[in-house]
Amino acid sequence: MSVGGERSRRFLAERARSMRASEIRELLKLTEGRDIISLAGGLPDPQTFPREELAEIARRVIIERGNQALQYSPTLGVTEFRRVLKEFLSSHGVTVNSGDDVIVTTGSQEALYLIAKVFVDPGDVVFVEAPTYLAALNAFRHYGAYFKSAPLDDEGMRTDVLEERIKEARREGRRLKLIYTIPTSQNPSGVTMSLERRKHLLELAEEYDLLVVEDDPYSFFTFEPVEAEPLKTLDKSGRVIYLGTLSKILSPGLRIGWALAESWVVTALELAKQSVDLHSSTLSQFIAAEAMRKGLVDKTVEKARTIYKEKRDVMLESLEEYFPNSCRWTRPVGGLFIFAYLPEGLDTKAMLPEAIERGVAYVPGASFFAEGGGENTMRLNFSYPTKEQIREGIRRLGLLIKEKVGG
Ligand X SMILES: Cc1ncc(COP(=O)(O)O)c(C=O)c1O
Q: Is 42 in the site for ligand X (CB under 6 A)?
A: yes
Give the up-direction half-sphere exposure of residue 359: CA atoms within 13 A in the CB hemisphere.
9
Asked if residues 184 and 212 have their Cβ atoms less than 8 Å apart, the reply is no
- Output 280 or 318, the one with its CB closest to ligand X: 280
Contact partners, residue 320, CB within 8 Å, separation at least 6: none
User: Which of 41, 44, 77, 107 is the binder for ligand X (CB under 6 A)?
Assistant: 107
* Site residues (CB under 6 A) for ligand X, limited to 182-201: 182, 187
Q: Is 41 in the site for ligand X (CB under 6 A)?
A: no
Closest by CA position to 9, among listed 263, 18, 402, 246: 18
- Output 222 or 245, the one with its CB closest to ligand X: 245
Q: Is 48 in the site for ligand X (CB under 6 A)?
A: no
Measured CA to CA, the distance from residue 190 to residue 381 in angstroms comes to: 10
Measured CA to CA, the distance from residue 99 to residue 94 in angstroms comes to: 14
> How near is the Cβ of 255 to ligand X at its closest, in Å?
7
Q: Is 108 in the site for ligand X (CB under 6 A)?
A: yes
**Candidate ranges 101-109, 154-162, 280-288, 377-385; the one touching ligand X (CB under 6 A):** 101-109
> How near is the Cβ of 207 to ligand X at its closest, in Å?
26
Q: Is 381 in the site for ligand X (CB under 6 A)?
A: no
Q: Is 365 in the site for ligand X (CB under 6 A)?
A: no
**Candidate ranges 10-18, 106-114, 352-360, 385-393; the one touching ligand X (CB under 6 A):** 106-114
User: Which of 41, 44, 77, 217 is the binder for ligand X (CB under 6 A)?
Assistant: 217
Asked if residues 106 and 280 have their Cβ atoms less than 8 Å apart, the reply is yes
Measured CA to CA, the distance from residue 32 to residue 124 in angstroms comes to: 38
**Candidate ranges 2-10, 102-110, 170-178, 205-213; the one touching ligand X (CB under 6 A):** 102-110
- Output 257 or 393, the one with its CB closest to ligand X: 257
Asked if residues 105 and 111 have their Cβ atoms less than 8 Å apart, the reply is yes
- Output 23 or 346, the one with its CB closest to ligand X: 23
> How near is the Cβ of 246 to ligand X at its closest, in Å?
7
Contact partners, residue 87, CB within 8 Å, separation at least 6: none
Rounded to 5°, the CA angle 317-321-323 comes to: 110
- Output 75 or 247, the one with its CB closest to ligand X: 247
Q: Is 257 in the site for ligand X (CB under 6 A)?
A: yes
**Candidate ranges 105-113, 222-230, 262-270, 294-302; the one touching ligand X (CB under 6 A):** 105-113
Sheet holding 146-153, edge to edge: 100-105, 257-262, 240-245, 211-215, 176-181, 125-130, 146-153, 156-157
Q: Is 334 in the site for ligand X (CB under 6 A)?
A: no
Q: CA 3 → CA 19, 21, 273, 279, distances in Å?
A: 7, 9, 25, 28
Q: Where are the alpha helices (DSSP H) in 278-377?
A: 282-293, 296-322, 348-357
> How near is the Cβ of 381 to ligand X at its closest, in Å?
10
User: Which of 247, 251, 281, 377 is the binder for ligand X (CB under 6 A)?
Assistant: 247
- Output 50 or 359, the one with its CB closest to ligand X: 50
- Output 187 or 300, the one with its CB closest to ligand X: 187
Paired with 179 in beta bridges are 127, 212
> How near is the Cβ of 336 to ligand X at its closest, in Å?
7
Measured CA to CA, the distance from residue 137 to residue 21 in angstroms comes to: 12
Contact partners, residue 31, CB within 8 Å, separation at least 6: 38, 40, 356, 361
Q: Is 77 in the site for ligand X (CB under 6 A)?
A: no
x-marked contacts with ligand X along 118-137 as a string, rule CB under 6 A: ---------------x----
- Output 108 or 159, the one with its CB closest to ligand X: 108
Asked if residues 230 and 183 have their Cβ atoms less than 8 Å apart, the reply is yes
> How near is the Cβ of 133 to ligand X at its closest, in Å?
4
DSSP assigned state of 323: S
Asked if residues 382 and 311 have their Cβ atoms less than 8 Å apart, the reply is yes
User: Which of 181, 184, 222, 245 is the binder for ligand X (CB under 6 A)?
Assistant: 245
Residues that bind ligand X in the complex, under the rule CB under 6 A: 42, 107-109, 133, 182, 187, 215, 217, 245, 247, 252, 257
